[in-house]
Amino acid sequence: MRKKILLFILTLLPVTQSFAQEVVPGDIVSLKQSIKTTGNPELIYSQNLDTTKSVNYLETFIQFEVIGVTDNIVKLRALDFKEGTQKSHFYNKKIYSVNRSEFDKSYKIVEPVEKFSLGLISLPFKVRPQTKFSYSTEFNLNGALNYNIYTFWNTSINYQAGLGLGSVSLNTSNSNGVSPGQEQNVSILSILNGLMLQHKCIQVGIYLGVDYINNQEEYQWNGNGNLWFGIGIGYDIFTISTKKPTN
């Protein structure tokens, strides 16, 4: 039992480099000193852009999104300035390249304000692969902490972990402690984690978890402490901003 709990706790740690300090595409950064650009800027959209207006040095006190990172070059796009302002002509929808070594000396990561959020998850079914690949559809409601890993184009990838309560129906097919013809509903405690993809307000998640009943010695439920998989679909359950901040 202890080994199962320890194994599951290890799965609660998301495998992502977003927690590291190494800069990756999607990070928002600012510069502590101006950096010389290399070459001409790339245009995200070519129409209605003044290609004659560009900068030779990226300025401080401006927030940039990291678009690409190589051993020698870092590509940056300034977060949008208000249209019509002087800086909007030089920065909006333009990707600048800078020397990686110069960038590494100057950048600092700007943490988004809305990185964490809370919400409720109800999974319509849970698949239990241990025996005959069974699934259950009983009621469950789980509170979860949401961590926004990465945001791009009104879409976000999020890691979630939480606890919940629910119920499960026990019978002779899934329990050794239930008499033939008898069916018993018991409460369960769920521990879960997973990844959720949100596009605008539509949210789809895939989850991994374990369930426990408090009278396992009596009922000997074969799903107690074993892993299950579930899929959840929601609409704006977690209030996650998918809009990039602006300058």
Q: Could you read off the pLDDT of 198-208 as tens digits, one per residue?
A: 987 889 999 99
Q: Which pLDDT score, from 0 to 100, does residue 10 have?
A: 52
Q: Which pLDDT score, from 0 to 100, does residue 17 have?
A: 39
Token pair 């899929």 is at which residue? 231
Average pLDDT over residues 235-245: 61
Among 39-48, 71-80, 224-233, the range of highest mean pLDDT: 71-80
Compute the mean pLDDT over every residue in the chain, rounded to the nearest whole number: 84
Q: Is the pLDDT of residue 229 over 60?
A: yes
- Give the Cα separation of 167 and 86 in Å (integer): 61
Q: Which pLDDT score, from 0 to 100, does residue 130 have?
A: 72
Average pLDDT over residues 139-155: 86
Do 211 and 181 contact (CB within 8 A), yes or no?
no
Q: Which pLDDT score, from 0 to 100, does residue 95 have?
A: 94
Task: Give kind and range of the element (H or E) at residue 5.
Answer: helix 2-11
- Give the Cα separation of 148 and 158 in Å (integer): 4
Q: Is the pLDDT of residue 64 over 60?
A: yes
In the chain, pLDDT over 70 holds for what percent of residues? 82
Q: Which pLDDT score, from 0 to 100, does residue 18 have?
A: 40
Long-range contacts made by residues 46-49, C-beta under 8 angstroms, separation at least 24?
49/93, 49/94
Higher pLDDT: 16 or 201? It is 201
Q: Which pLDDT score, from 0 to 100, does residue 99 have?
A: 97
Higher pLDDT: 212 or 110? It is 212
Q: Is the pLDDT of residue 20 over 50?
A: no
- Give the Cα separation of 136 and 124 in Å (integer): 9
Higher pLDDT: 99 or 121? It is 99
Average pLDDT over residues 224-243: 77
Q: Is the pLDDT of residue 81 over 80?
A: yes
DSSP code for 236:
S
Q: What's the one-letter identity of residue 135?
A: Y
pLDDT tier at 47 (50, 70, 90 boundaries)?
low
Longest dimension (CA), the chain: 82
Average pLDDT over residues 163-168: 93
Q: Is the pLDDT of residue 26 over 80?
A: yes
Q: Which pLDDT score, from 0 to 100, does residue 19 have?
A: 42
pLDDT tier at 57 (50, 70, 90 boundaries)?
very high
- Give the Cα separation of 28 and 45 in Å (integer): 21
- Give the CB-side neighbour count of residue 181, counting CA atoms within 13 A: 0
Higher pLDDT: 97 or 9? It is 97
Q: Which pLDDT score, from 0 to 100, does residue 246 have?
A: 76
